Structure 1
Amino acid sequence: MTRYAPQLQLGLILAILLLAFWLSADFQQIAAGVAIFLLGMVMLEDGFKALGGSVLEQILARATGTLPRAMGFGVLATAVTQSSSLVSVISISFLSAGLISLQAGMGIIFGANLGTTTGAWLIAGVGLKVDIARYAMPMLAIGAVLMFQRSPTVRGAGQVVLGIGLIFLGIAFIKDGFDAFSARFDLSQLALGGLVGLAVYTLLGAAATVVMQSSHATMLLVITALATGQITYDNALAVAIGANIGTTVTALIGAASANYQGKRLALGHLIFNFATALAALILIVPLRLTVDQISDMLGIRADDFALRLAVFHTLFNLLGLVIMVPLMARLLRFLERRIAAPAPSISKPRFINQTLGDFPAPILTALSNELRHLYENAARLICEGLNLRLEDLTQSKDIAVTIARSNDPIKLDFERRYEDKVKSLHSAILEFTAQKATLALPSDAVMRLQELRDAAGFVVRAVKAIKHMRDNTQRFTTAPHGEITGLYDNLRRDIAQILVEIERLEATAPEARTSLWMEEERAALDHEAREVVQNVERALQTRRISAADATSCLNDSGYAFEAMRALLDAAQLLYRPQDAAEAEIERLLELDKDDQV
């Protein structure tokens, strides 16, 4: 039954719409206005993604270290973009990538809830008092021209202008539709008073927001209906409260495929909105009296119920902040207990997932972290394939001595470990980069995406090279075989030194990383490769090793140097020196983590 629930819901909505269209031509105009308004919201959101997505990312990276700053970002970004869903998507992306904390994500959601109230003010204060249809037409024409230009920035600006034009046109359609509708019907006769009216219209507001997936659209309808006398002021207040509840459904739907952090954020959003709505319902009488006092102070007429509704919408969202902000620490602890973090998996991707959206910063950060995960698995497998332990090497004061003492055989199904912990992650990285390469990302982000994909390939190449030399390494290093054991220990030492240096590079601050060591090491590899050949030839000439062992050592030295070059290539791409902007963002992110309370 649940499988067919969405189809049944869609069928019911369409049936109701068709019946309403048949009963009233005026309702057709109202419905068309809502559709145009929603289309404008989508266009506006897409335009800001193309035009201001990277700007929002940079601001978000700098402005969410503390709860007040995160809330301020939520308010400002939602007020500017008029899209709480866009702000929520960016927040979930950053949270999933580990760029912000759960506290910062909740702070943004808190602020976005308050930021949505600016939409009610614009509709009530401007949309219903000015003939905005006059401004819609030129904006539609200009926006359409801009949208067909080649520049992504110009196209984004065109989407924003076109979106605003469609929103204006939708408001005009709805206003005219309600004006004509009110001449034939008086829906205010359906008004319900008392607790029954409060409950029924709260549910209607929530249901309308769920169906339209936009609290802005619900508020537009109720404000317009209120201005034309089609709904009473008391019932309109209840609809506004219900719209706040309905917005949580969008977050829950989006969190269905999110990682545990996204699910925590969606649950926190649900708790915040329900707590706010419950408090508003309980305190509806004192809230209404307070709204009247504030409206009188602001000079809002007693019969201007549309603007008074906007005051109420802002007031009860502020009430939610007053209630929930002091409880933030408890809320975070509850969310972390209720939705526990999964145990880290060595074999499965930890960072890349479908909730990262299409914003460059979280995509590249998550991919970089997943590549480090792949490298960590590969480095351990390389070491164990050479009868070494990565922990022993990183803690060693003399790698040559550690290598000489590492002669106990490590039992290992190399092929199985490769399939489970390297190949599976490499496949996930390739699939992820292929999907994200289809997005309209900035050119520098596309280039970085390709670099990280190539780095993953180099890591896998290094593992495959070690696989070829494992058997002989096991044979000659687990028991003394004279000169040949020393030659293989030298190869193990060279590989181990590169692995240790890469570990040190990982621990180095981003702005302090340099590729100088890698360039010097790469230049030295050719000399060292020739030296190995010369050592093998001298040992063979003096009969210290057999011809068969010499052949094995030469072949394996080729694999060893192939692995070392691949590791250096991977490290150079993964840890390449950042430009000033990238380093500054990462530094600020680290400072924000230290400042979090």
Structure 2
Amino acid sequence: MNVTDLKNLFMFCGGLGMFLYGMHTMSDGIQKSAGNKMRQLLEMLTNNRLMAVLMGALITAIIQSSGATTVMVVGFVNAGLMTLTQAVGVIMGANIGTCITSWIVSLGQLGDSMMLFSPSLYAPLLLGIGAIMIMFIKKPSSKLAGEILVGLGLLFIGLDFMKDAAGSYTDLPIFKNAFEMFGSNPVLGILIGAAVTAIMQSSSASVGILQMLAASGGVVTAASAVYISLGSNIGSCCTAMLSSLGAPRNAKRAAVIHLSFNVIGAVLFGAGMFLFFQFRPALGSGSIDSVGISIFHTVFNIVCTALLFPFAKALVALSGKVVPAGKKDKELAQENAVEEVVRHLDKRFLETPGVAVENVLNEVVHMGEITLENATLAVRSVFDEMPDEYSKVYENEKTINSLEKLLTEYLVQINNLSLTEKQHQIINHLFYIVSDIERVGDHTENIAEMAEYLHNNNIVFSETGISDLKEISEKVLASFQYAIDARKTGSKESVRHVVKLEDMVDDLEEELREKHIARLSNNECSASSGVIFLDIISNLERISDHADNIAGYVKDEM
């Protein structure tokens, strides 16, 4: 190998690196810009499969990877947030959405006819502007725009590097013979496309490289491009299949639906195109450019979706045959709160940080709602002698402690992802909020223990004491409920309610403490009941403090 060959090899490797990194950077910037909108889009899904297809196409166009979209779908199915019927539509749409990358790559050829509109002319400028925006502009939205521009610039520069490096060798007989072999043997062509895509874990990248080779010297035949493109669709299933390993059966079924849809489409189109090329061999052996590959890729995915769209339920049934139900499967309704949260905090969501942030936020709110129910139960146990309630409070407290550990570990994982400044702020606040909610759980347990002590020792509060406890406990529970609502909805009104109630609880706690001490001095109640009373209102006041902390974090994000 001479110096020129070595230089071309290094240039090709560098170009491939810039192309892949550019795709990643552009996708990452777009995902950050989209924020939590992808989760909101998925929440729009109903049993209307057409809407599901449109959402799948849109989300994949945003994140530039059908594999990543399908992994997210597997996660939603695993979490019980999406049915398999909905998943079929999203998976079909994902294949359409992935075509956007091939059209971006085709811009290079479309611009060649008019140099003024060539992406390679503007790629260095995009890269420069993007770098300046990232380094010197503090506005978060500008930094995200800079990331997208840098990614786009690197993508086109990488393509040019690969095209220049490969251009010297595309005339060699080995390239021509290889593509003629792929074109004459559909099975081999499809297997090559599937293998390359499985290795790169991106059909967009593998089709992009095929387009680059097609544009660099006309070595790619139409037949080989068709079969390799079909194979790339099958190879894109690899990510979702790997993601479903160890997951519950419904998640495996979602991955199987993705694989079966792409395999059926590839077989139908492969057989059809093979017959077509038998009658028109000149078309199959003729060269194809990058735009032609984009056109075929888009037409194939749209037609395949249209053909199989009516058979969505059949695909679901097929996945049930491939992954049959087991005797030990549990329905979501039968799972306890911890198991349910484990399902919802699926690691697959970490592939899309915006969705992961929204998901963990919802689960923190869920933890708060469980804690609120437990606090209500504990307060009620003070006034009603119901032994079963104590044990239920203690059991719920174990659940709350387990949720704190799960959520904190998941927050650590999210915090290491590529997040926007706003998302980082939310995650940092959620760390503290989880801790505040857990402390509320501790105070709740303390109240239940004191209630149990009261009833076990036949200690009774005076009517005035009971009335005072009911007054402060109502305000404390309302304060915590408003705090959870503020975290859930971002409501300014809920934040104001918490602040107002916190001031009232502080004043009331001090007032009740003084009144109770006066009752003790006048022998209106026993010393033992006095200590318990003061401990209960102290724990109630601390719950109100934690509610105020939660509302304060939400206020900081406004």
Q: TM-score, normalised by structure 1?
A: 0.72
AA aligned opposite 1:474: E
What's 1:312 paired with?
A: 296
What's 2:41 paired with?
A: 60
Task: Tell me whether 1:374 sits opposite 2:354 in the alignment.
Answer: no
AA aligned opposite 1:149: F
Does the C-alpha gap of structure 1 residues 571 and 139 become closer, same or farther in structure 2, counting only changes over 3 Å? Answer: closer
What's 1:394 paired with?
A: none
Q: Which structure 2 segments of 5+ residues have no match? A: none
* Secondary structure, aligned partner of 2:210: helix
Task: Tell me whether 1:42 sits opposite 2:31 in the alignment.
Answer: no
Looking at structure 2, the residues matched to 57 and 501 of structure 1 have their Cα atoms a distance apart, in angstroms, of 32
What's 2:95 paired with?
A: 113
Looking at structure 1, the residues matched to 459 and 168 of structure 2 have their Cα atoms a distance apart, in angstroms, of 99
Shift of 1:144: 4.0
Looking at structure 2, the residues matched to 206 and 87 of structure 1 have their Cα atoms a distance apart, in angstroms, of 18
Looking at structure 1, the residues matched to 518 and 373 of structure 2 have their Cα atoms a distance apart, in angstroms, of 33
The one of 192, 197, 213 aligned to 1:209: 197
* Secondary structure, aligned partner of 2:336: coil
Looking at structure 2, the residues matched to 266 and 137 of structure 1 have their Cα atoms a distance apart, in angstroms, of 40
Looking at structure 2, the residues matched to 548 and 188 of structure 1 have their Cα atoms a distance apart, in angstroms, of 95
Does the C-alpha gap of structure 1 residues 576 and 79 become closer, same or farther in structure 2, counting only changes over 3 Å? Answer: closer
What's 2:505 paired with?
A: 525
AA aligned opposite 1:189: N
Q: Is the 8 A contact 2:183 2:189 kept in 1?
A: no
Deviates more, 1:37-46 or 1:85-94: 85-94
Q: For residues 359-370 of structure 1, what are the structure 2 equivalents within 5 Å?
A: 362-370=355-363
* Secondary structure, aligned partner of 1:217: helix
Task: Tell me whether 1:569 sits opposite 2:548 in the alignment.
Answer: yes
Task: Tell me whether 1:127 sits opposite 2:114 in the alignment.
Answer: no
Task: Tell me whether 1:426 sits opposite 2:404 in the alignment.
Answer: yes
AA aligned opposite 2:136: Q
Looking at structure 2, the residues matched to 261 and 21 of structure 1 have their Cα atoms a distance apart, in angstroms, of 55
Q: For residues 175-574 of structure 1, what are the structure 2 equivalents within 5 Å?
A: 175-190=163-178, 197-226=185-214, 228-255=217-244, 265-285=254-274, 304=288, 307-332=291-316, 343-347=334-338, 349-350=341-342, 351-357=344-350, 362-382=355-375, 385=378, 388=381, 406-410=384-388, 412=390, 417=395, 420-439=398-417, 441-477=419-455, 481-483=459-461, 487=465, 491=469, 494-495=472-473, 498-499=476-477, 514-515=494-495, 517-563=497-543, 565-566=544-545, 568-569=547-548, 572=551
The one of 23, 32, 54 aligned to 1:72: 54
Does the C-alpha gap of structure 1 residues 231 and 195 become closer, same or farther in structure 2, counting only changes over 3 Å? Answer: closer
* Secondary structure, aligned partner of 1:543: coil
Does the C-alpha gap of structure 1 residues 516 and 99 become closer, same or farther in structure 2, counting only changes over 3 Å? Answer: farther
Shift of 1:239: 1.0
Shift of 1:71: 2.9
Looking at structure 2, the residues matched to 221 and 549 of structure 1 have their Cα atoms a distance apart, in angstroms, of 79
Does the C-alpha gap of structure 1 residues 499 and 121 become closer, same or farther in structure 2, counting only changes over 3 Å? Answer: closer
Looking at structure 2, the residues matched to 557 and 220 of structure 1 have their Cα atoms a distance apart, in angstroms, of 67
Shift of 1:199: 0.8
Does the C-alpha gap of structure 1 residues 487 and 263 become closer, same or farther in structure 2, counting only changes over 3 Å? Answer: farther
Count the aligned residue pairs.
Answer: 537
What's 2:136 paired with?
A: 149
Looking at structure 2, the residues matched to 267 and 444 of structure 1 have their Cα atoms a distance apart, in angstroms, of 36
Partner deviation per Cα, 1:61-88 (whole Å, 9 max, x = no partner): 6865554344334445555775545656
Partner deviation per Cα, 1:339-378 (whole Å, 9 max, x = no partner): 8765533345343343333767534432333223323443
What's 1:6 paired with?
A: none
Deviates more, 1:147-156 or 1:485-494: 485-494
Looking at structure 2, the residues matched to 358 and 106 of structure 1 have their Cα atoms a distance apart, in angstroms, of 20
Deviates more, 1:226-235 or 1:495-504: 495-504
Shift of 1:274: 1.8
Shift of 1:416: 6.5
Does the C-alpha gap of structure 1 residues 80 and 523 become closer, same or farther in structure 2, counting only changes over 3 Å? Answer: closer
The one of 164, 172, 185 aligned to 2:152: 164
